[in-house]
Amino acid sequence: MNIAEIFGQNIFSETVMKQWLPTKEFSEVMNVLQNGGQLSMQTADVVANAMKDWAVSKGATHYTHWFQPLTGITAEKHDSFLTPPVAGKTILKLTGKQLIMGEPDASSFPSGGLRSTHYARGYTAWDMTSPAFIKEQACGAVLCIPTVFVSFTGEALDNKTPLLRSMEALNEQTLRLLRLFGNTTSRKVIPSVGAEQEYFLVDRQKYLKHRDLIYTGRTLFGAKAPKGQELDDQYFGVIRERVGAYMKDLNEELWKMGITATTQHNEVAPAQHEMAPIFSDANVAVDQNQLAMETMKRVATQHDLVCLLHEKPYAGVNGSGKHNNWSINTDDGLRLLDPGPKPNENLQFQLILACIIKAVDTHADLLRNTAACPGNDHRLGAQEAPPAIVSIFLGDQLGDLVEQITHSGVAAGVLQSGKLDTGVSTLPVINKDATDRNRTSPFAFTGNKFEFRMVGSSDSVANANTALNTIVAEAFCEAADILEQSKDFVHDAKTLVAKYMILHSGVIFNGNGYSDEWVAEAARRGLPNLKSMVEAIPALTTEKSVALFEKFGIFTRAELESREEVMYETYAKTVHIEAQTMIHMAGKHYIPTVIQFVTGLANSINAVKAACPTADVTTQQDLLTRCSDLLAETHEALADLEKAVTETMALENVPEMANAFHDRVIPAMAALRSPVDELELLVDKDIWPVPTYGDLMFEV
């Protein structure tokens, strides 16, 4: 396989456009892409026609507006290029109007109350900044046109619109700062994102026997396997052949659609892996991550595997996240988060850093909110995942820089990275990275970017980036407001850097984020520790959050309130489905199996005693007693869970219901799981109704 040949063959890229569009229209498209604005309808017609011709030449039969509603996944409705035949001749068509706008029925997508106050209508509108692409799937090749999804009155019904709005806000505010530092050449500031995607693979036939995996994406029962991740033998281990074959096909599919899948490796847990693309503009990265997730699932099926994107498919082993690498760069190639060789003399970098520290400290609760999804509740704070407390890791060099500034107002020197001595004369001398790593931090500086590690593996990275862009735009805006009035810029900028660092250094933590001491220390520092999704949801609509988003035109209060409601609904529905699945599995699978097992034991005791009255049957009797006790416990826990679900579902207020699911139903689920998991270790494996953790994780 030659990567260069297949890479991007299914995207309507700049090169393809140049080839398929007349010069005039091509220039008009490029102009809008670079400077914003809109295409004329005539040009849109020409572009649409070229796009259709190109897609048809690639075997596409349909097109679709591809968008990202608040379900967290993508949506598409295919329309063929067919038009009514003219004089018996088939004509294929895509008009400018069809390209630019669509009107799917908005009423079936979550809108969190926006629908009741406004019209049910929703519109999709072409987002030119993300290239159209062709998706090859079993139903044929489909031309996908990336779009935003908004209501009749212009409210965002998707995750993409606010992201684009936030990118514009960050662009505007960063340019103000750059101008203050005398930069007159950069014309555009763009946040870049590289989203590392973790996932599990499981054999499809075993998966199909687990109703919990099918309905909820995670195992709701299952005893620990004799072996887990304790030997650290899986991380970066040799990739098994079956998994390797999957990765090879996945890469090829992603490359065709212009997704730069580049890194692949085994992750910490057995059967857990990671794929990372090369970073790109935030909006493109968000689209591509959605597309990557879809593709990962699709390709898995072709290998009789299932790709699990849930944050915690298996209890007790590493969960899956999405490390969101984020940086700010300019159109003329400046990396604004690069400290350079002498950060102590780089006032622009210091101010940017101080503003980011301030932004993260001020809006820690909001950032936490953007990583809130039901699955992440099981991941955050457990087995090798960052805690639910937002803090910043800066590393030795920048940590020292901030310390110097907070203590004496200036940084006299800078810690340099040393050489790494291996003690072997034939090995090269390696320069150590001055920005070392701390895997335990939720928000870590890594060289020339920050890595936000809280987002869940199944979640879209759109919200995290919308929030990051906006909180940083706010901090830049406040700094620019002050410094644009300054008579002594350098002096005042230095003062501001010191002020922000002194006020907000409480959010910096370079130690072990997994430790209990940190939880206690964070509480002393007053940092929010929002352990669950329901605790993190209200951060979206605090007065602080509303003021932030309204100031930059990212969300109106109504949009935020609607999103808050969607989050509560999502949580309640997810836990409800999980509880129902447990009730089903306990009643239909586990209890009947255990009854069968104990009956067999009782019969065996009677048979042995009849055959040999003096035989010692205490083993069977002990087992029978233990299993019968656990069976009774299961029965009781099942009844409790049913009652908890019924009473929770009777609540009318959605936030109250979501909280009750968290406070009452989740513990009742744990109480049901416990005896069943214990029984799994006692009951004959041949009759146990589902594959065990060992089967699922070690037989891929």
Q: Which is nearer to ligand ADP, 441 or 648 (CB)?
A: 441
Residue with Cβ nearer Mg ion (258 or 277): 277
CA-to-CA separations, 465 to 167, 281, 369, 462, in angstroms, rounded? 9, 11, 12, 5
Nearer to Mg ion, 25 or 196 (CB): 196
Interacting partner of 343 out of ligand ADP, Mg ion, none (Cβ under 5 to 8 A depending on kind): none
Part of the chain binding Mg ion (CB under 5 A), chosen from 174-182, 189-197, 307-315, 421-429: 189-197
Q: Among residues 290 and 327, whose Cβ is nearest to ligand ADP?
A: 327
| CB of 685 vs ligand ADP, minimal distance in Å | 37
Query: Can residue 276 be called a binding residue for ligand ADP (CB under 6 A)?
Result: yes
Separation between Cα atoms, residue 28 and residue 454, nearest integer Å: 40
Alpha helices in 457-556 (DSSP H): 462-483, 489-504, 516-525, 533-536, 543-551
Residue closer to Mg ion (CB basis): 273 or 673 = 273
Output 129 or 529, the one with its CB closest to ligand ADP.
129
**Looking at 273-281, 375-383, 505-513, 548-556, which segment touches ligand ADP (CB under 6 A)?**
273-281
Show the DSSP H helices in 363-433 as ranges. 364-370, 376-379, 395-408
Q: Report the distance separating Cα 317 and Cα 319, nearest Å.
A: 6
Scanning 102-110, 196-204, 622-630, 638-646 for contacts with Mg ion by CB under 5 A, the matching segment is 196-204
Q: How many CB atoms lie within 10 A of CB 279?
A: 20
Contact 85, 165 (CB under 8 A): no
Which residue number, 287 or 365, has a Cβ lying nearer to ligand ADP?
287
Q: Rank residues 263 and 416 by Cβ distance to ligand ADP and give the closer one.
A: 263
Q: Measure the CA dihedral 270/275/276/280, to 10°.
A: -150
Give the nearer residue to Mg ion in terms of CB position, either 196 or 569.
Answer: 196
Beta bridge partners, 89, equal 86
Angle at 490 between CA 484 and CA 491, to 5 degrees: 100
Report if residue 267 touches Mg ion, rule: CB under 5 A.
no
CA distance 508 to 64: 46
Token pair belonging to 262: 């580049």
Based on the shown chain and the rule CB under 6 A, indicate whether residue 278 belongs to the binding site for ligand ADP.
yes
For ligand ADP, the closer of residues 72 and 277 by Cβ is 277
| Minimum CB distance to ligand ADP smaller for 292 or for 668 | 292
Closer Cβ to ligand ADP, 71 or 129, answer by number = 129
Please select the residue that binds ligand ADP; options are 147, 327, 406, 620, rule is CB under 6 A. 327
Is residue 144 within a helix (H) or strand (E), and if so which, with residue range?
Answer: strand 140-151
Q: How far is the CB of 196 from ligand ADP (least distance, A)?
A: 5
Q: Is 279 in the site for ligand ADP (CB under 6 A)?
A: yes
**Quick one: 293 exposed, middle or buried, by C-beta within 10 A (0-12, 13-18, 19+)?**
buried
Strands 450-452 and 443-445: antiparallel
Q: Which of 672, 641, 470, 562 is nearest to 158 (CA)?
A: 562
d(CA 317, CA 331): 42
Q: Hey, what long-range contacts does 228-236 have (CB within 8 A, 24 or more apart)?
A: 228/269, 228/270, 228/316, 228/317, 229/268, 229/269, 229/270, 229/317, 229/318, 229/383, 232/268, 234/266, 234/267, 234/268, 234/269, 234/270, 234/272, 235/265, 235/266, 235/267, 235/268, 236/265, 236/266
Stretch that binds Mg ion, among 54-62, 195-203, 381-389, 532-540 (CB under 5 A): 195-203
Residue 603 CB neighbour total at 10 angstroms: 10
Say how far apart CA 380 and CA 385 lie, in whole Å. Answer: 5
Q: Which residue is it, tokens 């706010």?
A: 474
b/e map 560-591, b = 16+ CB within 10 Å: bbbbbbbbbbbbbebbbebbebbbebbeebbb
Told to check if 433 binds ligand ADP by CB under 6 A, we report no
Per CB under 6 A, does 263 bind ligand ADP? yes
Q: Which stretch binds ligand ADP (CB under 6 A): 83-91, 272-280, 456-464, 677-685?
A: 272-280
By CB under 6 A, is residue 395 in contact with ligand ADP? no
Least distance CB 424 / ligand ADP (angstroms) = 25
Query: Which one of ligand ADP, Mg ion, none interacts with residue 631, CB within 5 to 8 A by kind?
Result: none
Counting contacts by CB under 6 A, is residue 301 touching ligand ADP?
Answer: no
- Which residue among 210, 363, 379, 449 contacts ligand ADP (CB under 6 A)? 449
Residue 153 CA to residue 109 CA, distance in Å, equals 16
Interacting positions 464-503 with Mg ion (CB under 5 A): none
Say which entry of Mg ion, ligand ADP, none residue 194 contacts (CB below 5 to 8 A, set by partner kind): ligand ADP
Closer CB to ligand ADP, 254 or 534, in the complex: 254
List the single partner that 197 binds among Mg ion, ligand ADP, none, CB under 5 to 8 Å by kind: none
Q: According to CB under 5 A, which one of 158, 196, 294, 695 is a site residue for Mg ion? A: 196
**Using CB distances below 5 to 8 A depending on partner kind, what does residue 449 bind out of Mg ion, ligand ADP, none?**
ligand ADP
Angle at 400 between CA 399 and CA 405, to 5 degrees: 100
Q: Is 192 in the site for ligand ADP (CB under 6 A)?
A: yes
Looking only at residues 620 through 659 of this chain, which bind ligand ADP when binding is defined by CB under 6 A?
A: none
Of 186, 448, 510, 542, which one interacts with ligand ADP (CB under 6 A)? 448
Q: Is 673 in the site for ligand ADP (CB under 6 A)?
A: no
| 564 forms part of the interface with Mg ion (CB under 5 A) | no
Alpha-carbon separation of residue 700 from 264, 273, 695 (angstroms): 17, 12, 8
CA distance 407 to 404: 5
Q: What is the dihedral sign for C-alpha 155, 159, 165, 166?
A: positive
One symbol per residue from 91 to 130: x for binding ligand ADP (CB under 6 A), - otherwise; what is it?
----------------------------------------
Is the CB of 207 or the CB of 279 nearer to ligand ADP?
279
Nearest residue (CB) to ligand ADP, 191 versus 222: 191
Q: Which stretch binds ligand ADP (CB under 6 A): 87-95, 320-328, 363-371, 470-478?
A: 320-328
CA 455/CA 379 separation, integer angstroms: 10
Closest separation between CB of residue 20 and ligand ADP, Å? 30
- How many angstroms separate the CA atoms of 210 and 219, rounded? 8
How many residues of this chain bind ligand ADP (CB under 6 A)?
15
Nearest residue to ligand ADP, by Cβ distance, number only: 194
Q: Three-state SS for 427?
A: coil
Helix (H) or strand (E) holding 191: strand 189-203
Q: Which stretch binds Mg ion (CB under 5 A): 55-63, 191-199, 368-376, 446-454?
A: 191-199
Min dist CB 265 to ligand ADP, Å, is: 8
Does the protein bind ligand ADP through residue 194 (CB under 6 A)?
yes
Query: Measured from the CB atom, is 322 or 363 closer to ligand ADP?
Result: 322
Angle between helices 347-362 and 395-408 (to 10 degrees): 90
Q: Residues 192, 326: contact at Cβ < 8 Å?
A: yes
CB of 206 to ligand ADP, least distance (A): 29
User: 448 is in the binding site of which of ligand ADP, Mg ion, none (Cβ under 5 to 8 A by kind)?
Assistant: ligand ADP
Q: Binding residues for ligand ADP, per CB under 6 A?
A: 192-194, 196, 263, 276-279, 323, 325-327, 448-449
Q: Binding residues for Mg ion, per CB under 5 A?
A: 196
